[in-house]
Structure 1
Amino acid sequence: MGATHALWLLAVPVCALGVAALARRYAISAPLALVVAGLLVSLVPGVPEFRLDPEFVLFVFLPPLLFSAAWQSSYYDLRENRRPIGLLSVGLVLFTTLAVGYTAHLLVPDLPLAAALALGAIVAPPDAVAAVSVAQRLGLPRRVVTILVGESLFNDATALTAFRVALAAAVGAGFTLADGMGRFLFAAGVGAAVGLLLGPPLHWLRTRLNDPLAENSVVVVAPFAAYLTAEAVHASGVIAVVVSGLYLGHRFTESPAVSRLIGHSFWKVMVFLLESVVFLLIGLQLPSVLKGLSGYGWGSLTWWALAVFAVTVVARFVWVFTGYLPFRLTPAGRRRPRTLDWRAKIVVSWAGMRGVVSLAAAFAVPATVAGGAPFPGRDLIVFLTFTTVLGTLLVQGLTFPPLIRWLGVAAERERYEDSVAEAGAQHAAANAAMARLEELAADTGDMLDPTVVERLRAMAEHRQLRAWERLGGGTGPEGEEVPTAVYRRLRREMLAAERATLVRMRNERRIDDEVLQRMLHELDLEEAALNRD
């Protein structure tokens, strides 16, 4: 029995990876394909029930997924868009909580307001994984992608705090609005402090291990350390993970090239695996969700599910198109006229797919309240969460790519500007490498083989030309360095000069982090080739 159970557990990631691989091969949205596959598999006779463990999701799946997204995000881009990100990740979550909560309270008989608000908090935070993957593939403007990513990084903290406050009121813990605000501020502030306190020592340790595998092992442990530390002091583990991920990701340029290459590949594999399993598990929850609904008629259930789904979607549109207005009326808002145009707002409004965090929160609703009475409407809350998650993934997920194409929201000009910036940065970096080569040649005088210097100079010149074209250690018998060793040593020095120039240009905001990462990846690959035995 134990072996059979283990085989079924193994079948989940195997099936998830198979479906995701086929989806990628045939250019199908992997999240949608995985959810549908999970639904179909759950209906097969003999398949055991895979019940989503809330603690497993929040402690195992959520930290690495959040950390990876924060690690790859641009601190500068997030800072420049902090107002729209804050309005979505805090304001929209609370607005959706109230809108869905009061709607459910009015529609569903005998559903207390506190329990209905718990439902609103559960379905409030979008999971931007599917939306962002489509947005990046279809070339949406960077600012839109940044806002969606930033929202997904921080909205879970708001939603989970609001959920805990509503849950405490529902079970009779006596929470007030002031208690809820205080709890939210404490969770956010202390969570950010934990992330900031963990970031520097982890970065210090990582850069001094001098072992690519050990360095990346520190990074793997970091999201779990941040999350568990913050949760241990009753703060927001989500914000702690995001802040530490942003800090460590921003300082990734200080790691050795081989460490960056290993880390880049590891996180791509890890995220691919975790996301595939998560979306398959969403579909597999159907049998668990349908349990306990015998006391409700299917007509009422359908009407309530459609109503909650509709309010969830409409609330996002209302907030995106009008939620900025109070801020725009302030002096700070008038000094910052930059805003999204109506087409970008439609895209942001429609990119509200919900995910596994909502389902995990729904399953975390306790079975009883204080005194031992059943929690009012728990099975219904789980069902309405499931239908909302499923509805947003299928309806919005299927129509999101055609909507982007129909609106014509593309970043052609932005991509051209990136190419020009990349070519200019490559030219400046190659000049820095050439200057460093001349310094080294002057310091060593006649000791350098002229052919090595000419070869390095020709390579630097080739890199200069190639960027613009895209736009349109051993020793000899006497202990001396052999030409190949000299070449590797000098080329590493040149690469270091190029890398320093690119980082400086990023810090001066002359190039974007996305451009920096592409160019550093190319340098890292070359340095890794130089380090071969």
Structure 2
Amino acid sequence: MHSILPFLLAMVAVIVLLNIFATKLKIAYPILLVVAGLLISFIPGLPVLKIDPDLIFFIFLPPLLCEASWSVSLKEMRKWYRMITSFAFLVVFFTALAVAVAANHFIPGFTIALGFLLGGIVSPPDAVSTAAITKFVKIPKATQAILEGESLLNDASSLIIFRFALVAVGTGQFIWQEAATSFLWTVFGGAGIGLLLGWLFVQAHRKLPTDTSSDIALTLIEPYLFYLLAETMHSSGVLAVVAGSVYMSSKRLTFLSSSGRIKAYSVWESFVFILNGVVFLIIGLELPEIVAGIKSSGIPLDEAIGYGVLVTTVLIITRMISSYAALFATMLFRRKSVPHINNKRRRYLMPALLGWTGMRGVVSLAAALAIPVKLNGAMFPQRDLILFITFVAILLTLLLQGLTLPYFIRRSRLFEGIFNEAEEEEARKAMKRGLKQHVYEFLNSRYETEWKGQEVMEKFIHQWEERSKIQDDSWMNDKTKLIFLEMLESQRNYLVALNNDPKINEEIIRQQLYQIDLEEERLRAI
């Protein structure tokens, strides 16, 4: 323990420094972390890193999925659910099929089952990489919603393919009836378990006498419970985490206090940042062991690199084809669901953007490492080559697509003129005007029914309108504080109801809710 602790502390320090450097260069930090891991792995004397795949699946994946689920816009996901589900399931399956056919045709010794195994591993794009890259360029909320929604579901679909392909390789046969039944239980069972546990966790938060620290601690362990129970029952742990976390996110105002929401945001932001950093650094550090495996299997390194480039090319082309197929299918069968884009050039370039956001990452590496070393007493066929191809696909997509995506967006001027800053600011101001009017009506109604004739209430109304000019909090007493807290709760209810308006960006409402939480905490501290 004493020998590994300095190494872990050094990893965190490297992650922080590289993130600072990446921000200055306007480069996604996962790219720098993978490259740094590669360079560090060449330092002589460092021990070869051996990773238990269960460590990545169980320790890293649940909290990363949970945090993404809490951040996603449910309104936008509902709006674009057809596009999201097609990318998360149909495109992943099509990608796995394309990889299987290409591997079977071009790579000696690869059966269709092994090809599907490789396809299931490399088919899901990495959510963290896409989010880290697109933060340097502004993209429409519809595109962002599709990418976020896809990232929540494609891990589950790819791991389902991986699981079935692993069984087919081991048994040498594929029984469609059993596979269909297993698939249904994996998908719906996982989602059902997540929703059930999510409801139970919300009730526990409401009824147990927890404080802020306890609530935050519970939110840290709940994703692991989602994942563990679902996997124990042989369903999808990924879908359980996503379904349960999305449900809890929708109920956050009912079971977390303002203090809990504010502090949990900070805790989770730091926690997930460190987890992401460690995972991408580990990807780079894995290189020596992967290369050693290739050499031991007798495959020339240049030949293995060629196979990796081939599979990466298939991944990119397949996603591009899928993006345009999704657009044309939507235009043909669901014209009303096509994003409203007047510019034809922009309409036909948009799928290219979606197709170019296919960076691979942590789930692909973890799935490749999860392949057993031995199968039925013999060495698992092509395991070392699959690991190496996966590593090449991760590295090439991060470097090629990750470094060029922001440039392509700026150079193509794809979204030029699509963002109406004045219109967005006007919507924000209109929301605040409506909120102020709501507060005024709330105070007047309370004054008429409960506080009429009380001098403190009249004074409070005047002071609320002029409170920005007041230099201290001497005017605040227990009665006015109670009224103020009730007013803030009324504002929350108003904003939650306003979220049903399709014209209002959910992100603006969340920002305003966060401001209300901060105001409540300031009040309680007086």
TM-score (norm. length: structure 1): 0.91
Cα distance in 2 for residues equivalent to 1:491 and 1:343 = 50
- Which of 306, 320, 323 does residue 320 from structure 1 map onto? 323
Change (3 A) 1:288 1:121: same
Corresponding position of 2:259: 258
| C-alpha distance in 1 between matches for 2:165 and 2:103 | 14
Q: Deviations over 1:457-513 (max 9, x none)?
A: 3349x9xxxxxxxxxxx9xxxxxx974333322222221221111111103435232
Q: Distance in 2 between matches of 1:149 and 1:399?
A: 20
1:471-490 → structure 2 map (5 Å cutoff): 483-490=476-483
Instruction: State the match for 1:469 in structure 2.
Output: none
Q: Secondary structure at the match of 1:292?
A: helix
Distance 1:397 1:6 in 2: 32
**Pair 1:495-2:494 in alignment:** no
Match of 2:217 in 1: 217
| 2:382 alignment counterpart | 377
The equivalent residue for 2:13 is: 14
**Aligned letter for 1:420?**
E
1:453 matched to 2:448? The reply is no
Provide closer, same or farther for how the CA distance between residues 448 and 133 of structure 1 changes in structure 2, counting only shifts above 3 A. Answer: farther
- The verdict on how the C-alpha distance between 1:409 and 1:448 changes in structure 2, with shifts beyond 3 A counting, is farther
Deviation at 1:387, TM superposition (A): 0.3
Aligned in 2, Cα 1:19/1:413: closer, same or farther, shift over 3 Å? closer
Q: Structure 1 residues 373, 328: CA separation in 2 closer, same or farther (over 3 Å shift)?
A: farther
Q: Which stretches in structure 1 are left out of the alignment for 5+ residues?
A: 463-473, 475-480
> Structure 2 CA distance, aligned partners of 1:192 and 1:506?
25
| CA drift at 1:384 | 0.3
Classify 1:527/1:26 alpha carbon distance in 2 versus 1 (closer, same or farther; 3 Å).
Answer: farther
* Partners of 1:359 and 1:74 in 2: CA distance: 28
Q: Matches of 1:257 and 1:448 in 2, distance apart?
A: 30
CA contact (8 A) 1:362 1:385 kept: yes
> Quick one: which amino acid aligns to residue 446 of structure 2?
L
Correspondence for 1:299? 302
1:519 aligns with 2:512: yes
CA displacement at 1:303 relative to structure 2:
1.8
Residues 110, 96 of structure 1: CA spacing in aligned structure 2 closer, same or farther, 3 A cutoff?
same
Paired letter, 1:262 = K
Cα shift at 1:187? 0.4
Cα distance between partner residues in 1 of 2:327 and 2:460: 60
Q: Counterpart of 1:142? A: 141
Tell me if structure 2 keeps the 8 A contact 1:31–1:130. Answer: yes
Give the whole-Å Cα distance in 2 for the aligned partners of 1:126 and 1:412: 26
Q: CA deviation at 1:353?
A: 0.3
- Residue 155 of structure 2 aligns with which residue? 156
CA distance in 1, matches of 2:178, 2:327: 27
The change in CA–CA distance for 1:415 and 1:180 in structure 2 (over 3 A counts) is farther
Distance 2:178 2:497 in 1: 45
Cα offset, 1:306, TM superposition: 1.3
CA distance in 2, matches of 1:438, 1:335: 44
Q: What letter corresponds to residue 454 of structure 1 in structure 2?
A: H
The aligned amino acid for 1:224 is Y
Q: State the alpha-carbon separation in 1 of the partners of residues 476 and 144 from structure 2.
A: 47
Structure 2 vs 1, CA of residues 322 and 174 (structure 1 numbering), >3 Å: closer, same or farther? same
C-alpha separation between the residues in 2 aligned to 1:311 and 1:203?
44
- Superposed displacement of residue 324, structure 1: 5.0
Shift, 1:25, TM fit: 4.6
**Once the two structures are superposed, what CA deviation does each residue of 1:45-101 show, in whole Å capped at 9, x if it has no partner?**
111122232101110100010011011112121111111111111011111111111
Give the aligned partner of residue 470 of structure 1.
none
- 2:305–2:389 CA contact under 8 A, matched in 1: no
Aligned counterpart for 2:502 among listed residues 504, 509, 513: 509
For 2:411 and 2:475, the matched residues in 1 are separated by 61
CA change 1:27–1:336 in 2 (3 A) is closer
Q: Aligned-pair distance for 1:415?
A: 4.7
Inter-CA distance 83–230: structure 2 relative to 1 (3 Å threshold): same
What do you get for the CA RMSD once the two structures are aligned?
2.2
Residue in 1 aligned with 2:344?
A: none
User: 1:429 maps to what in 2?
Assistant: 435
Q: Distance in 1 between matches of 2:276 and 2:153?
A: 18
Q: Given that residues 452 and 486 in structure 1 are in contact (C-alpha distance below 8 angstroms), is that contact kept between their aligned partners in structure 2? A: no
Task: Give a deviation string over 1:165-195, Cα, whole Å, max 9, x none.
Answer: 1111112263334433332221000011011
**What fraction of aligned residue pairs are identical, expressed as a percent?**
32
Gaps of 5+ in 2: 342-346
Over residues 224-266 of structure 1, what are the superposed CA-to-partner deviations in whole Å (9 max), with x where a residue is unaligned? 1111111111000111111111111112233321111112112
Provide closer, same or farther for how the CA distance between residues 408 and 216 of structure 1 changes in structure 2, counting only shifts above 3 A.
same
Give the match for residue 467 of structure 1: none
**Whole-Å separation in 2 of the counterparts to 1:114 and 1:337:** 36
1:318-356 CA-to-partner distances (Å, cap 9, x unmatched) read 1111245456554xx255444772222111100000001
The number of residues matched between the two structures is 511
Verify: 1:308 aligned to 2:311, yes or no: yes
Which AA in structure 2 matches 1:456?
Answer: W
Following superposition of structure 1 onto structure 2, how do residues 34-183 of structure 1 map, counting pairs within 5 Å?
34-172=33-171, 174-183=173-182
Q: Decide whether the 8 Å contact of 2:330 with 2:338 is kept in 1.
A: no
Residues 384-421 of structure 1, C-alpha deviations (whole Å, 9 max, x = no match): 00000010011111101101111223375355443222
Write out per-residue CA displacement over residues 266-320 of structure 1, whole angstroms, 9 at most, x where no aligned residue. Answer: 2211111111111111111111111122201233222212111111111100111
Determine the C-alpha separation between the residues in 2 that align with 1:207 and 1:232: 27
SS at match of 2:2: helix
In the alignment, is the contact (CA less than 8 A) between 2:30 and 2:132 conserved in 1?
A: no
Q: Are the structure 2 counterparts of residues 23 and 299 from structure 1 closer, same or farther at C-alpha, using a change threshold of 3 Å?
A: closer
Residues 1:287 and 2:288 are matched in the alignment:
yes
CA distance in structure 1 between the aligned counterparts of 2:249 and 2:505, rounded to whole angstroms: 14
CA deviations over 1:109-157 (Å, ceiling 9, x no partner)? 1222211221111000000212223324411000101101111100011
Q: Which of 444, 462, 470 is equivalent to 2:451?
A: 444
Q: Which residue matches 1:236?
A: 236
